[in-house]
Chain A
Amino acid sequence: MHKIVAAVCFAAAASISAVASAQVPNLAPGFTGLPKGSRVVMMPADIEIYSISAGGLPEPRADWTEAAQRNFRSTVTRRQGTLGLAMTQLAEKDADDFAEISALHTAIARSIAVHHFGPSSLNLPTKDGQLDWSLGDSTQALKKATGADYAVFSWVRDSHASAERQAAMVAIAVLSLGRAVPRGGQQTAYASLVELDTGRILWFNRFSRDSGNIKDEEAADETVDTLFKNFPVAK
């Protein structure tokens, strides 16, 4: 329930402060880009895909989620050449040792999503409008184990309307003479770049939009591209 509340709140926030969000920085103060050839480890993406039933209830779809995870990985593999970085993807089974760091990062990311990219009434004055979060030296263990200097974390939640739901939506639209436009599905995602030596979040991108359907390969490509569109690589 909490995640649904969060998703809807972001939608509300987006519509309220569409202009303001454009000015919220994605980069940590003083950071402009990674040096070429930086060693980056990509943590396994945390993805959940839901189907929205006719009644509007989201149901997790394990098969879609598995497809999405596979597509995400292969898209990253195909794209990483263009980033000019030495990127490796951490396998799911190797991630066991870093469960605490991942859980910690998830908590930070939620904080950033709510208090930095969220409604301005939730901004933290001490952060002064900056992307100023750090995991501290807790990430050095990850650096030691993988040999990377940076890590990328990503998180995707995608829900889209089942056929029944789509039919119901059409019915609602028709019956209300076009006034009621129920949400058909939503995709919320974030990605972050962490400097493993210091634990600093150097870059954070998040978006929330209508469903992206990333169980399909093409859609996965598009989602990954959107998520990493302004990824900070030095030219």
Chain B
Amino acid sequence: MKTLLAVVLVALLGACTTVATKKIASGENTIGERLQVNIEGPWNYISAPNMGPAQIWTMEGLPVDQLRIYSGIKDGEVIHDTRNSNLKSFSFRSNMQSDELVSMFEGMLTRGGSTFQLSKVEPSTFGGGKGVRFEYAMVTKEDNLPLTGVAFATVSNGELFALLYTAPRLGFFPRHQARVEQIARSAKILPTPAAPKY
């Protein structure tokens, strides 16, 4: 949680104009060129340079909850921000099986040294294709706050599409989980690039 926040704050120091928070309105939204979702109730989209390839949405603020949305990540691409080069890096490979996708995301989420426990891994459709859904529990070493997460991932035409939501176990994850599941269910991977809205 803190790394992303630090990225945003550093960006602010550099140039306030490059940090933006947009309201994602209810209804149809397209992320990247090919991922379309239909959301019920608005979200907040925070963008700043060097945050990594995922789009980050939040309901309560970056220190609390984060919805990471991956759209069309290509073979070999690093899936996180690259600020801290001391930590191990994780990249997507097009030939990854479900268990490897799960391991990759687990590695990314625990780069800073957190505990991580998978509580469920199951096949699921995502974006209209076969994919994986998994649930997890983690505690980051810095905050000592127990977090819960749910994630969906699929590979379509060699590209990664995924959605990960992490929020505190107490109060916040239960509060927003249903809407996240709904976003995941509504996800469609478009066959041809659509005009991106964001």
Contacts and interface: CB of A to CB of B under 8 A. Distances in A.
| Direct A–B contact present (CB less than 8 angstroms) | yes
A122 B8 contact: yes
Interface residues of A, number: 36
Given A2-B5, A115-B61, A9 B13 contact: yes
A82 interface: no
A111 B172 CA distance: 13
Given A5-B9, A126-B42, A104 B168 contact: yes
Contacts of B172: 136
B66 to A, nearest CB: 11
Interface in B42-90: 42-44, 46, 58-64
Contacts of B6: 1-2, 5
Contacts of A133: 60
A136 B171 contact: yes
Contacts, number: 103
Most A C-beta atoms less than 10 A away, residue of B13, B62, B174: B62
B196 interface: no
Most A C-beta atoms less than 10 A away, residue of B21, B23, B146: B21
Interface string B2-21: 10011011101100110111
A126 B59 contact: yes
Given A99-B144, A100-B146, A126-B42, A2 B171 contact: no
A137 B170 CA distance: 9
Contact of A106 (B12, B143, B171): B143
A124 interface: yes
B44 A121 contact: no
Nearest to B147: A107
Contacts of A9: 9, 12-13
B141 interface: no
Contact of B63 (A8, A13, A111, A121): A111
Contact of B170 (A13, A104, A122): A104
A234 interface: no
Contact of B44 (A1, A126, A137, A199): A126
Interface of B: 1-2, 5-6, 8-10, 12-13, 16-17, 19-23, 42-44, 46, 58-64, 143-146, 168, 170-172, 174-175
List of 3 A-B pairs having minimum Cβ-Cβ separation, nearest first:
A111-B61, A125-B23, A136-B171
18 contacts: A2-B5, A5-B13, A8-B13, A12-B12, A107-B143, A108-B61, A111-B60, A111-B63, A114-B5, A114-B63, A119-B12, A119-B19, A122-B46, A125-B21, A125-B23, A125-B44, A126-B23, A126-B44
